[in-house]
Amino acid sequence: MQFYLTDAGRACLARVNAGEMELHFTKAMTGAGNAVRPELQPEVLEPMQQMQIDEVRAEGEYTQIVCVLTNLEWEQEYILRQIGLYARDISGAETLIVIGQDPYGDRIPPITEKEVEYQYHIGMKIDNAQNVSFDFSVNDFLRKKYFYEHLEEFEEYRKDIQDQFEALPRVRIGPAERLDRKDTILFETLPGTDRVTKIRERDAADERHAYDFAAVFAAAQEREPLQSGETVNELMGRIKKWLEDLKPNTFREADNPFVVMTETTYKPPAQRTEGSLYALVTKQRGLIILFFERYIHGTEDPRKELTVYAVDKAGTERTAGEKDENPYKAVLQNLVILEPENEIERKDGVFYAIRKRQKGE
């Protein structure tokens, strides 16, 4: 391919060499046309592809411009007969500076057929090279060489990510049978349902671990109804508040709110349900019922309250205190109530109580 300075290009370079202006090369373009006098063309004929300006280097008094053409992402066939190098002058207009032409040209196949790459060198003599710049980068286009270099880097990166991903434990959801190999985490569900009950793991050493769900909560501030969609912690906090506010006689094992006792069904205060009212029915006047929590043989030092002591006559040594599971009651029927002015002969084994009169009686 033979290259020519266009008439517009000669005028621009003359002004550049004279230091009157700067020249900014902007693009290289291919064309499929063929001109009788290419140097007179203002544009390439039948423009097709924009080329990659791959390198610019100085060689003595010449400036070498290397253009590269690939058919990557190009899907139609054509014959490349012209190459045009464009620049922007002081007025800002984009002008065809250099044009190359080959009457026979090079066939550019579509990418679906095969990949091709062509490289063209354009030499220009410029005295004031400092006034010439190139407004392009080697990254403006994807050259096949760069494509394969980055493809190799990408494949290495992809393999590294794949290796890291394969090293991660597998996560599954389902019944316990799905924990079928090492490096697996299983969210175990109840058989035949989608309800998760616990988390199981088989680690890299094929050791099994099980983790239960735990609720961490505090009682709610107020009693409020349970709402669908709330977290387990919120629900448990509401339930705890309701239970805390219940009275002892709410539950099944509690006594009724009003309990009538007899001598045989008598309950000592320690066994009564808080909040219930108790009454004792007896036909005997002056009945005193004493409640004892324990009954032991022998003696204790010191003695304990609410304990019945019996002497073990079989031996003389003290016996250890033993707690009896059954409570003991003592019913005293020998109680005599006296008026203050009455005095009688008192007998052994009888309790005497004197009624005290209030002032004004």
Q: Report yes or no: 226 and 235 within 8 Å, Cβ to Cβ.
A: yes
Q: Do 317 and 205 belong to one domain?
A: no
Q: Give dist(CA 58, CA 129) in Å, integer.
A: 9
More confident residue, 139 or 213: 213
Question: Is residue 239 helix, strand or coil?
Answer: helix
β-sheet bridge partners, residue 171: 185
Q: Give dist(CA 127, CA 20) in Å, integer.
A: 13
Q: Report yes or no: 98 and 84 within 8 Å, Cβ to Cβ.
A: yes
Q: Do 191 and 125 belong to one domain?
A: no
At residue 331, the pLDDT reads: 57
Residue 232 lies in a domain: no
- pLDDT of residue 120 exceeding 70, the answer is yes
At residue 341, the pLDDT reads: 74
Report the greatest alpha carbon distance in the chain: 161
Task: List the single range of 21-35, 256-270, 336-350 with lowest mean pLDDT.
Answer: 336-350
At residue 56, the pLDDT reads: 72
Q: Do 92 and 22 belong to one domain?
A: yes
Q: Give dist(CA 229, CA 242) in Å, integer.
A: 19
The domain boundary residue, chosen from 123, 142, 161: 142
More confident residue, 135 or 123: 123
Q: Do 36 and 129 belong to one domain?
A: yes
Q: Give dist(CA 248, CA 269) in Å, integer.
A: 15
β-sheet bridge partners, residue 250: none
Task: List the single range of 107-111, 282-286, 345-349 with lowest mean pLDDT.
Answer: 282-286
Helix (H) / strand (E) containing 144: helix 144-167
Q: Give dist(CA 168, CA 287) in Å, integer.
A: 81
CA distances from 154 to 108, 110, 165, 248 (A): 28, 25, 16, 72
- The whole-number average pLDDT for the span 26-55 is 87
More confident residue, 6 or 357: 6
Residue 224 lies in a domain: no
For residue 191, is the peptide bond before it cis, meaning its omega torsion is within 30 degrees of 0? no
- pLDDT of residue 130 exceeding 60, the answer is no
Helix (H) / strand (E) containing 170: strand 170-174
Q: Do 12 and 59 belong to one domain?
A: yes
- pLDDT of residue 137 exceeding 50, the answer is no
- pLDDT of residue 192 exceeding 70, the answer is yes
Which pLDDT band holds residue 123 (cuts at 50, 70, 90)?
confident
Q: Do 186 and 83 belong to one domain?
A: no
Q: 71, 72, 54, 42: which is closest to 122 by C-alpha? A: 54
The domain boundary residue, chosen from 94, 124, 142: 142
- In what side-by-side order are the strands of the sheet with 52-59? 52-59, 62-70, 117-125
What does the pLDDT look like over 65-92, one tens digit per residue? 888 888 877 888 999 999 898 888 777 7
Q: Do 176 and 113 belong to one domain?
A: no
More confident residue, 73 or 171: 171
Please work out, in degrees rounded to the nearest 5, the angle formed at the alpha carbon of residue 224 by the alpha carbons of 219 and 227.
Answer: 100
Residue 136 lies in a domain: yes
What's the domain range around 299?
282-354
Residue 199 lies in a domain: yes
Q: Give me the amino acid identity at 305.
A: E
At residue 208, the pLDDT reads: 92
- pLDDT of residue 235 exceeding 70, the answer is yes
At residue 173, the pLDDT reads: 92
Which pLDDT band holds residue 199 (cuts at 50, 70, 90)?
very high
Q: Do 184 and 135 belong to one domain?
A: no
At residue 138, the pLDDT reads: 39
At residue 142, the pLDDT reads: 46
Question: Is residue 259 helix, strand or coil?
Answer: strand
Q: Do 9 and 130 belong to one domain?
A: yes
Q: 238 φ, ψ to 5°?
A: -70, -40
At residue 319, the pLDDT reads: 52
Residue matched to tokens 């032991």? 296
Residue 205 lies in a domain: yes
CA distances from 96 to 7, 9, 43, 49, 211 (A): 9, 7, 6, 15, 75
Q: Give dist(CA 210, CA 190) in Å, integer.
A: 15
Question: Is residue 8 helix, strand or coil?
Answer: helix
Residue 256 lies in a domain: no
Number of domains the chain contains: 3
At residue 306, the pLDDT reads: 67
Q: Give dist(CA 83, CA 127) in Å, integer.
A: 24
Q: Give dist(CA 254, CA 246) in Å, integer.
A: 12
CA distances from 21 to 4, 84, 124, 208 (A): 21, 21, 17, 79
Q: Do 131 and 194 belong to one domain?
A: no
Task: List the single range of 18-27, 212-221, 231-240, 327-336 with lowest mean pLDDT.
Answer: 327-336
Instruction: Fill in the DSSP letter of residue 158.
Output: H
Task: List the single range of 153-157, 206-210, 219-223 with lowest mean pLDDT.
Answer: 153-157
Q: Give me the amino acid identity at 346.
A: R
Residue 240 lies in a domain: no
Q: Do 59 and 137 belong to one domain?
A: yes
Q: Give dist(CA 95, CA 281) in Å, integer.
A: 124
At residue 294, the pLDDT reads: 65
Q: Do 117 and 179 belong to one domain?
A: no
% of residues, the chain, pLDDT over 90: 14
Q: Provide the 10 A C-beta neighbour count for residue 183.
A: 15
The domain boundary residue, chosen from 212, 242, 264: 212
What does the pLDDT look like over 294-323, one tens digit per residue? 666 666 777 777 676 666 555 545 455 555
**What is the average pLDDT score of the chain?**
78
